[in-house]
């Protein structure tokens, strides 16, 4: 097990079982499975989103602890976390190693296919153009993010990937634990300024 895998599994140990009911997944003609939130109360949806975002924040802290810009992400499918990771551009020496792309890659392996039906992606920061592309390419039905990225966000900030009439349009929920997610980045850059 790599150090990265060890860090991820120790975070997941604490967040494996979500106390809030999961949404049903609805089949809209194979393989376009959506995440159907209609059976859940708004309160349930919010508490559940905050639960998983708290886990993503802890994954972001793992990134900060190894000197990476702190962004954490995970994918939930059928009430289970099937993929979790954090930004690894520096440590993995790879421009494509954003947290979201890493979890999309892992989720495809876990489900055994390129489509991610019935999955939800939680990420602390608004996805960039590449990761928004990954969401659309994998047909991920729902994305939940914490803070906006005014310089690179592609789900509403710089542009909105759901507004181009592409063949897949994920449902986006933004602003979940926004303050905490933003704080994670602010603290990281402040520490960096103090100890360059």
Catalytic residue among 58, 100, 120, 126: 100
Q: What is the per-residue burial (b if ≥16 Cβ within 10 Å, else e) of 98-125?
A: bbbbbbbbbbbebbeeebbbbbbbbbbb
CB of 154 to Zn ion, least distance (A): 8
131 lies in the site for Zn ion, by CB under 5 A: yes
By CB atoms closer than 10 A (0-12, 13-18, 19+), residue 40 is middle
Which range touches Zn ion (CB under 5 A), out of 75-83, 93-101, 112-120, 182-190?
A: 93-101
Size of interface with Zn ion, in residues (CB under 5 A): 4
Q: Is residue 98 involved in binding Zn ion (CB under 5 A)? A: yes
Alpha helices in the chain (DSSP H): 3-15, 42-65, 99-111, 129-137, 178-194
Sort strands 33-36 and 142-147 into parallel, antiparallel or unpaired.
unpaired
Q: Is 80 a catalytic residue?
A: no
In whole angstroms, how close is the CB of 21 to Zn ion at the nearest point? 30
**Which of residues 40 and 130 has its CB atom nearest to Zn ion in the complex?**
130
CB of 89 to Zn ion, least distance (A): 10
- Positions that interact with Zn ion (CB under 5 A): 98, 128, 130-131
- The residues carrying an active-site annotation are 100
């Amino acid at each position: 097990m790599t150090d990265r895998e060890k860090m991820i599994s120790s975070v997941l140990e604490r967040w494996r079982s979500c106390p809030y009911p999961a949404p049903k997944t609805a089949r809209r003609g194979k393989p376009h499975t959506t995440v159907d939130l209609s059976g859940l109360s708004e309160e349930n949806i919010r508490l559940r989103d905050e639960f998983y975002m708290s886990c993503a924040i802890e994954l972001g802290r793992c990134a900060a602890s190894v000197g990476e810009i702190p962004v954490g992400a995970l994918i939930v499918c059928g009430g289970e976390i099937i993929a979790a990771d954090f930004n690894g551009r520096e440590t993995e020496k790879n421009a494509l190693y954003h947290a979201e792309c890493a979890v999309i890659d892992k989720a495809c392996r876990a489900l055994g296919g390129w489509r991610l039906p019935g999955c939800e992606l939680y990420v602390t920061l608004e996805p960039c153009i590449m990761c928004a592309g990954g969401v659309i390419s994998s047909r991920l039905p729902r994305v939940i993010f914490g803070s906006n990225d005014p310089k690179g966000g592609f789900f509403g900030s710089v542009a909105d990937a759901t507004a181009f009439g592409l063949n897949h349009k994920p449902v986006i929920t933004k602003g979940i634990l926004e303050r905490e997610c933003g704080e994670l980045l602010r603290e990281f850059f402040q520490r960096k300024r103090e100890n360059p």
